[in-house]
Structure 1
Amino acid sequence: MKILIYILMAGALVLMIYNATQLNFDALLEGESKTAISLILAGLSCIILLLILLLSKKIEEKKKNS
């Protein structure tokens, strides 16, 4: 499960980097830049949720071993 979480986090990071290259800084909220910003935020929220899942798994392990 840990490996899958890390793979998903790496995939989200790669997609965030790719979308960062698609940004047009002259018009950030127009056209493809708007889509790229929303996908960067989606990738960031995905990473945050996966970190929360990873943390909850660690807490579950500690509680199970106690």
Structure 2
Amino acid sequence: MKYLIYTIIALAVVFIGISVGKLDFQNLLEGDSMYALIVILASLCVIVLMSILLVSRTISKKQDS
């Protein structure tokens, strides 16, 4: 499960990298830039959620021991 979480985080980072390339800084809220911003925000949410999951699994393992 740990490797799956790290893979999901890595994919989110890749999506952020691809989406940054699609940004048009002159018109951030129009066309493809808007969709790229949505993907970046969603990917950041995934990274935060997966990090919380990793920390909670670590805490759970320490309490069981």
TM-score, normalising length: structure 2: 0.98
Q: CA deviation at 1:29?
A: 0.6
Q: Distance in 2 between matches of 1:36 and 1:15?
A: 9
RMSD: 0.4
- Unaligned regions of 5+ residues in structure 2, if any? none
State the 4+ residue runs in structure 1 displaced beyond 6 angstroms: none
Question: What's the % identity of the aligned pairs?
Answer: 43
Alignment coverage as a number of residue pairs = 65
Q: CA deviation at 1:55?
A: 0.4
TM-score, normalising length: structure 1: 0.97
Which SS does the other structure have where 1:29 is aligned?
coil
- Unaligned regions of 5+ residues in structure 1, if any? none
